[in-house]
């Protein structure tokens, strides 16, 4: 017997059977589509590819075509079209919808599903994408995460009419729930990526400013010639050999070459070749395999691999052994090498910038440096002048260094013109590095932040006294002990005609000796009695430390 509901339905068994079969078949397709969508969402981390696959499944399996996903732009709050079935992102111009604007804007405004039996009959239909069939139904559902609207998923059933439209809408809502987390994750990743890109660009601008040409001070003819050469060579991948005395700024020039070259976005790797013994130098440059030697607990990339696509700066290249020179030559010639303990040949694309203070021509003549390596490195040699050859640059360099020292000390430092003139009169055997050390010491002693000529003289006296002691110790000698000074020294000590800078010289020795008079006397090569006499006659106030 049929149930009463069947009698009151007004439908015969024959009339109801096709609708039941159609609904059952639709549910099976939807179940299959949901399963496929969940698989796609679980295996892919690429947001755009994932959405494209989801829309393809809806079209192929569930009969829902012209799929489109829009996401909310965090800055403007507008709905921005992200992915359209069958189109790459560059195939359509950026399309946005404000709240209430068009059918999609209605979803954005009301935060609820919109279904239309024939989209072309609705006055709100804008068809900005130009992909929809106006005769077919349209379903747009909100994509939410924890109740918060993140975007809109829109499709068109490929059959006209209202039959099963609400059923399809509920199915699309389930799909939207599945992809909601993916959309949220993608939006957060995009936001973090933009933040990282902004930080990266800021760092690049900062690094380029710090290591660019502005950081190498000099207006002398010699330095202008160097700058012109650096600007030319920076454009190309040519190997550069920077030559000059210690302390002339070879590393600064290497930095400027890299950060003004096409490789500026690549890695910039540095290595001082004399900082490591030869057995470690090979591993440091070429890397090593696990177990290659005692302590090699894992595989490690060397500096050549780290610099792939960028620049490798090898400082003090003139001090490597002939055996290592041969290994380095192979990499420069062929761009390939093996890790220590490995057999696999690795190839790299790097630019080499090398630097040395040595006379490599003399080293080649003496057999200490390979001639073929010398010519391989000297494709573009740059010769940096010593500070003695560009004395007119000293005032600018001094002000630049004082600004840097002042930043470290957290205060503004000034230097008097007379102090600058005294700096210019010095021969600076240690070049810019010696000048920087002198200014840093003077800055420490300048309580008011102003460096005057007496302070420069005092620091230079200390440095000369220290250098004399170092030379004596290095030569195996000792400073004269008490009572062993020559008669000439004693005569000079007792003479009332003491040189005007003698007071600074004695103070410098006392400072270096920690104000221990006997130790200061040994530094000066005089007796304790003589230094006591000088302290008294020069009116030097002895510090108690």
pLDDT band, residue 468 (cuts 50/70/90): low
pLDDT score of 539:
79
Measure the CA–CA gap between 379 and 496, rounded to whole angstroms. 62
pLDDT score of 488:
33
Measure the CA–CA gap between 259 and 262, rounded to whole angstroms. 8
pLDDT score of 429:
86
> 145: which strand partners?
148
Tokens representing 85 are 């079935």
pLDDT score of 5:
38
Examine the pLDDT at 7 and tell me if it is beyond 80.
no
Helix pair angle (394-409, 431-445), 10° resolution: 50
pLDDT band, residue 411 (cuts 50/70/90): very high
Cβ atoms within 10 A of the Cβ of 519, count? 16
pLDDT score of 311:
95
DSSP 8-state class, residue 288: B
- Backbone phi and psi for residue 349, each to the nearest 5 degrees, phi listed first: -115, 100
Measure the CA–CA gap between 339 and 346, rounded to whole angstroms. 8
The stretch 245-254 carries a mean pLDDT of 92
Comparing 105-109, 185-189, 300-304, which segment has the lowest mean pLDDT? Answer: 185-189
Measure the CA–CA gap between 456 and 422, rounded to whole angstroms. 7
Place of tokens 């400072």: 511
Q: CA nearest 448: which of 485, 415, 494? A: 415
pLDDT score of 250:
93
User: Which positions ≥6 away from 154 have C-beta within 8 Å?
Assistant: 67, 68, 69, 70, 104, 138, 139, 140, 141
Residue 212, classed as helix, strand or coil, is: coil
The stretch 422-445 carries a mean pLDDT of 90
Question: Tell me: the pLDDT tens digits for 485-532?
Answer: 333 333 333 333 344 467 778 888 888 888 888 888 888 878 877 788
pLDDT score of 18:
52
Examine the pLDDT at 75 and tell me if it is beyond 60.
yes
Residue 72 and residue 185 in contact, taking contact as beta carbons nearer than 8 Å: no
Quick one: what percent of the chain has pLDDT higher than 90? Answer: 37
pLDDT score of 74:
77
The 3-class SS string of 346-393 reads: EECCCEEEEEECCCHHHHHHCCCCCHHHHHHHCCEEEECCCHHHHHHH
Domains in the chain, CATH or no CATH each = 15-190 (3.30.450.40), 213-385 (3.40.50.300), 478-545 (1.10.10.60)
Greater confidence, 198 or 120? 120
Average pLDDT value for the chain: 82
Residue 169, classed as helix, strand or coil, is: helix
pLDDT score of 316:
92
pLDDT band, residue 435 (cuts 50/70/90): very high
Residue 143 and residue 108 in contact, taking contact as beta carbons nearer than 8 Å: no
Examine the pLDDT at 203 and tell me if it is beyond 70.
no
DSSP 8-state class, residue 119: G
pTM: 0.55
Measure the N-to-C terminal CA separation of the chain; round to a whole number of Å: 116
pLDDT score of 528:
79
Best-predicted range by mean pLDDT (341-345, 415-419, 536-540): 415-419
Examine the pLDDT at 198 and tell me if it is beyond 80.
no
pLDDT score of 142:
93
Burial letters 207-222, b for 16+ CB under 10 A, else e = ebeebbbebbbbebee
Examine the pLDDT at 17 and tell me if it is beyond 60.
no
Alpha helices in 366-494 (DSSP H): 371-377, 394-409, 417-424, 431-445, 453-474, 487-494
Comparing 31-45, 92-106, 207-221, which segment has the lowest mean pLDDT? Answer: 207-221
DSSP 8-state class, residue 142: E
Examine the pLDDT at 335 and tell me if it is beyond 60.
yes
Tokens representing 112 are 């609820």
Greater confidence, 94 or 471? 94
pLDDT score of 209:
58
pLDDT band, residue 323 (cuts 50/70/90): confident
Q: Is the dihedral of CA 519, 525, 531, 534 positive or negative?
A: negative
Residue 431 and residue 386 in contact, taking contact as beta carbons nearer than 8 Å: yes
The stretch 242-247 carries a mean pLDDT of 93
pLDDT score of 499:
43
């Amino acid at each position: 017997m049929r149930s009463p509901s069947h009698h009151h339905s007004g439908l015969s068994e024959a009339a109801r059977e096709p609708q039941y079969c159609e609904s059952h078949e639709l549910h099976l397709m939807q179940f299959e589509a949901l399963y496929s969508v969940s698989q796609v969402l679980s295996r892919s981390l690429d947001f755009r590819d994932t959405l494209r696959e989801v829309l393809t499944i809806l079209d192929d399996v569930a009969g829902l075509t012209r799929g489109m996903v829009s996401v909310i732009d965090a800055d403007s709050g507008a709905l921005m079209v992200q992915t359209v079935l069958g189109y790459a992102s560059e195939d359509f111009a950026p399309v946005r919808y404000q709240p209430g604007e068009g059918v999609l804007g209605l979803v954005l405004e009301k935060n609820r599903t919109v279904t239309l039996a024939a989209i072309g009959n609705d006055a709100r239909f804008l068809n900005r994408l130009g992909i929809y069939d106006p005769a077919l139904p349209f379903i747009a559902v909100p994509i939410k995460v924890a109740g918060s609207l993140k975007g809109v998923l829109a499709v068109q059933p490929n059959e006209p009419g209202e039959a099963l439209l609400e059923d399809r809408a509920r199915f699309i809502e389930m799909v939207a729930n599945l992809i909601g987390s993916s959309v949220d994750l993608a939006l957060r990743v995009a936001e973090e990526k933009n933040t990282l890109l902004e930080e990266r660009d800021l760092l690049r601008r900062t690094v380029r400013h710090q290591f660019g040409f502005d950081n190498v001070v000099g207006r002398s003819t010699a330095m202008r010639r160097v700058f012109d050469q650096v600007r030319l060579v920076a454009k190309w991948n040519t190997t550069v050999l920077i030559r000059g005395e210690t302390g002339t700024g070879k590393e600064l020039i290497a930095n400027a070459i890299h950060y003004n070259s096409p490789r500026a976005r690549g890695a910039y790797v540095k290595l001082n070749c004399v900082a490591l013994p030869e057995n470690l130098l090979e591993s440091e440059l070429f890397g090593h395999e696990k177990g290659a030697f005692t302590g090699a607990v894992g595989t490690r990339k060397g500096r050549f691999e780290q610099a792939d696509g960028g620049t490798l700066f090898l400082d003090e290249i003139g001090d490597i052994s002939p055996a290592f020179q041969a290994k380095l030559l192979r990499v420069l010639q062929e761009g390939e090498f093996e890790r220590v303990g490995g057999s696999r040949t690795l190839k790299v694309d790097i630019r080499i910038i090398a630097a040395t203070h040595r006379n490599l021509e003399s080293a080649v003549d003496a057999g200490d440096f390979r001639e073929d390596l010398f010519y391989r490195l000297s494709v573009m040699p740059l010769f940096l002048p010593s500070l003695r050859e560009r004395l007119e640059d000293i005032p600018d360099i001094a002000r630049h260094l004082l600004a840097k020292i002042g930043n470290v000390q957290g205060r503004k430092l000034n230097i008097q013109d007379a102090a600058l003139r005294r700096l210019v009169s010095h021969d600076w055997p240690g070049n810019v590095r010696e000048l920087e050390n002198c200014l840093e010491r003077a800055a420490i002693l300048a309580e008011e932040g102003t460096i005057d000529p007496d302070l420069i003289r005092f620091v230079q006296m200390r440095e000369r006294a220290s250098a004399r002691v170092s030379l004596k110790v290095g030569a195996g000698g000792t400073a004269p002990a008490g009572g062993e000074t020559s008669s000439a020294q004693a005569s000079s000590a007792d003479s009332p005609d003491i040189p005007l800078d003698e007071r600074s010289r004695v103070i410098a020795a006392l400072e270096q000796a920690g104000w221990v008079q006997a130790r200061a006397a040994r530094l000066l090569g005089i007796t304790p009695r003589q230094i006591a006499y000088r302290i008294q006659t020069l009116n030097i106030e002895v510090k108690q430390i």
